[in-house]
């Protein structure tokens, strides 16, 4: 098993998207890279964390390259503080 953390818009939508990919065995939402060690959904605007999805996948069924190709289908890496209709620093 391998893991990767990905951020790109509302984390529950991204989690649902990755949970449907063959070879992905688990997804969990969380927060990463903030100014303080921990946060929650109510405080995220103050802590600068990004909404993040922890993806566990079986490398025998799906490669990291494939995971990233799926990822870049749904996010815009050039968009700052916005992904689709999701606007804010946490996206």
Residue 15 CB neighbour total at 10 angstroms = 19
Q: Look at residue 59 and tell me if it is in a domain.
A: yes
Q: Look at residue 91 and tell me if it is in a domain.
A: no
Phi-psi region of 23 (alpha: psi -120 to 50; beta: other; left: phi over 0): left
- Work out the percent of the chain whose per-residue pLDDT is above 90: 49
User: Domain residues for 69?
Assistant: 2-82
Which CATH number belongs to the domain containing residue 46 in this structure?
3.30.1060.10
Is the predicted pLDDT of residue 82 greater than 70, yes or no? Answer: no
Q: Look at residue 89 and tell me if it is in a domain.
A: no
Residue 28 β-bridge partners: 54
Q: Look at residue 30 and tell me if it is in a domain.
A: yes
Confidence at residue 24, expressed as pLDDT on a 0 to 100 scale: 98
pLDDT interval class at 88 (50, 70, 90): low
Average pLDDT over residues 14-29: 97
Domain count, the chain: 1
Average pLDDT over residues 27-48: 77
Q: Are 53 and 7 in contact (CB under 8 A)?
A: yes
């Amino acid at each position: 098993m391998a893991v990767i953390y990905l951020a790109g818009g509302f984390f529950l939508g991204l989690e649902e998207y990755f949970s449907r990919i063959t070879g992905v065995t688990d997804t969990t939402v969380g927060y990463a890279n903030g100014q303080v060690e921990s946060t929650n959904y109510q405080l995220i605007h103050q802590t600068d964390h990004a909404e993040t999805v922890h993806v566990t996948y079986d490398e025998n069924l799906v490669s990291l390259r494939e995971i990233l190709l799926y990822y870049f289908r749904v996010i815009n890496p050039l968009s700052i503080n916005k992904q689709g209709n999701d606007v804010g620093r946490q996206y």
